[in-house]
Structure 1
Amino acid sequence: MPRLIAPTVRLHDAWLEAHAEWGPGLHEDGFGLSASDEVDSPAGFAAWVARLAGQSDPACTIDAGRHRCTYRWIVEDERVLGGIALRDGDDAYVRWAGHIGYGIRPSARRGGLGAWALGSILGEARELGMNRLLAVCAVGNAASVRTIERCGGVFERIEETGSGPLRRYWFSL
């Protein structure tokens, strides 16, 4: 049975395995990985996990105090299957990337895991008192379109951005 857990240094090797499966780059949505994060060494990984935990702290201010982010890893049998992020706020980043971002490692896709994780994080958002959430995905990402729509996302529009056209969906909790 999969679980959503807070990022932990205990799963360093399992996370590196998932990261390697995606291949090089920063394309694992939901992990909060930035170009300056060094995750290969235990010390670098611990620093990254600590940064993620700090962003999950409601007292933490991000982007001039406009949003906080709660990170969860999707784990089953000590294997990292993906990540999901819940952003609370209304700054330019959230308006572009959405309140929710997630990614499922390639070998764990096509089994409903994304919909399960999205439904679970919507429950966390409800508990935090959030009532309207934006999710976006690339126009050509048919799997995310199906996942978002299956979980109740209501299509708003396609928006042209510097990174390509994005489909925008809203969840009312």
Structure 2
Amino acid sequence: MPELIAPDVRWHAAWRDAHAEWGPGAHEDGFGLQEPDEVGTAAGFAAWLARLDVEACTYRWILEDERVLGGIALRHGFDDFVRRYGHVGYGIRPSARGRGVASWALGRMLDEARTLGMAQVLLVCAADNAASARTIERNGGVLEASPDQRVRRYWIENSLSFDM
């Protein structure tokens, strides 16, 4: 059974294993990783996690049997970044996809959003990302009409929990 945990330096090796599975770059949504972050060394990894601690965002890693399966981020507020990318971003390592892990993690983060008083949550995915669209829809996402055909924008009324 997976669990959501706060990022921690003790999971450096497990995180690096997941990161290696994605390949080079900072493309795993849900981790808050940016191009200048140097995560290969213990010091760089610790500095990255320290940066995450001061952001207006709740980061969680999805852990199962001491393996990092993915990450999920709940962005607070409603600034331009959230308007473009949504309140929640997540990424699941390729070998853990297709098991409902993202749907499960999104449900837990919606619980967290409720505790923060977030009655509506915006999620955005690429128009061609059918798996992400299903994940959002399983959790109550309602598609918003959007002029940008490259993305799908969903709103979740966050007063009830929608599990898989």
TM over 0.5: yes
Counterpart residue number, 1:115: 103
Q: Scaled by the length of structure 2, what TM-score is found?
A: 0.94
Number of aligned residue pairs: 158
Contact 1:26 1:33 in 2 (8 A): yes
Q: Percent sequence identity over matched residues?
A: 66
TM-aligned CA deviation for residue 77 of structure 1: 1.3
1: CA distance, partners of 2:110 / 2:22? 25
Task: Classify the secondary structure of the residue corresponding to 1:110.
Answer: coil
Task: Classify the secondary structure of the residue corresponding to 1:89.
Answer: coil
Task: Classify the secondary structure of the residue corresponding to 2:145.
Answer: strand
Spell out the pairing of 1:141-156 with structure 2 (5 A cutoff).
Answer: 141-156=129-144
2: CA distance, partners of 1:115 / 1:48? 26
Counterpart residue number, 2:64: 76
TM-aligned CA deviation for residue 159 of structure 1: 4.4
Letter in 2 for 1:5: I
Query: Stretches of 4+ moved more than 4 A in 1?
Result: none
Task: Classify the secondary structure of the residue corresponding to 2:76.
Answer: strand
Cα offsets for 1:137-161 (capped at 9, x unmatched):
000001001110011000002442x
Counterpart residue number, 2:17: 17
> Which structure 1 residue ranges, 5 or more long, are not aligned?
56-67
Task: Please tell me the root mean square deviation across aligned C-alpha atoms, in Å.
Answer: 1.0
Counterpart residue number, 1:168: 153
Cα offsets for 1:36-63 (capped at 9, x unmatched):
10000000000001111222xxxxxxxx
Contact 1:7 1:53 in 2 (8 A): no
Spell out the pairing of 1:49-64 with structure 2 (5 A cutoff).
Answer: 49-55=49-55
Spell out the pairing of 1:31-110 with structure 2 (5 A cutoff).
Answer: 31-55=31-55, 68-110=56-98
> Which structure 2 residue ranges, 5 or more long, are not aligned?
159-164
Letter in 2 for 1:29: D
1: CA distance, partners of 2:143 / 2:126? 13
Task: Classify the secondary structure of the residue corresponding to 1:25.
Answer: coil
2: CA distance, partners of 1:117 / 1:13? 22
User: Is 1:140 the counterpart of 2:125 in the alignment?
Assistant: no
